[in-house]
Structure 1
Amino acid sequence: MGIQKVTIIQYRPEANGLCERANRKVLEALRKTVGGNDKNWDRYIDVVRYNINTMVCDSIKTSPFEALFGCQARGTFDLLTIPHHREDTIEALISTVKERHTCLNRNLMATTREMVERSNSRTSDVKIKVGEKVFLKINVRNELNYKLGPKFEGPFRVVEEKTGNGFIVLDEKTGRSKLTHINTEESWLW
């Protein structure tokens, strides 16, 4: 099936972009639907879910509902006015679903290639090796004088590389180690 397990570093939502993008989409839709009545937001979950699942997705060029079930979703008005009967044979339905899945896969692969190219054009590879010394970014917004305070702490020695751009770094003064992400590191060769 092509499923690959990927672990991400905890407390780093940007490491799981697909999930964060989906959450943002749900929150934006809820915010628009609720319209300031945030005490009863849970009443609107089904409406938001239906709307998100029936909107055409740019990456697959169809709605998630249609991609999954092979037909367009029927709304309330459709249920009242359009009779529900299909005259297609099972073989015809299976053939249609296979054709749709092939088309969806092709659209998704093209979108993925575009996204990877766009991402690669905006980034540069940072190579940090085991044994190098690095400084870690400090979350300065939590401190009173964050504009004038230091933005990095360290140095730390990189002792192990983890998956997903994670590293174990060692504070040589205290002997404590911690897991960090490449986005929080500034490499300095010593």
Structure 2
Amino acid sequence: SISDRIRQRSMFHVSFLERFAESLGNQAKFSTAFHPQTDGQTERTIQTLEDMLRSCALEWTGNWDDYICLVEFAYNNSWQASIKCAPFEMLYGRKCRAPICWDQVGERVIEGPEMIEVTNEKVAVAKEKLKEARTRQKSYADKHRRSIEFQPGDRVFLKVSPARGFRRFGIKGKLSPRFIGPFEILDRFGEVSYRLALPPQLLHVHNVFHVSLLR
């Protein structure tokens, strides 16, 4: 996904990126904040990898960094529902060789049975941690997901984050309101994003917001 902030700043860049993507047979998608159809998948992947590494750090206290390559191997060779295959296979068109075979082709390197056993055990642990991380991420997302829908014409309040409130909305102070509005909903984007009719003093603010920021 490509941030829509680029599109707002330079049509030349957008034109170039669109032509470049077209030459590769791809379609450029410009993301908006909280838009799950574009950058949401990337954010979830990063969260999964962080959770996976955190779990492995607890499992391999003291020397977990020695096995980062095995964690990478486990993730890149795990079946992904979105692409219906492993990331490595999608990228290179073939399955990845096991970590015990990472030496250059033609080199005869003999690994002892103990090394093979330890390596396979570590890969198994990494894959199990990956599965646990994905389960936790799904559980967390389901727990915080709200089945709230609005219709064009509805009036809603917009949540303002303390960290970004002053920069985006000119609201400053810990005791300042956490919700502003109400604002009218103009239209809906996808399943969870809405465009709001903001007042003139907020025209510099991107007016599409995730449902989690509305009430």
Q: TM-score, normalised by structure 1?
A: 0.48
Q: TM-score, normalised by structure 2?
A: 0.44
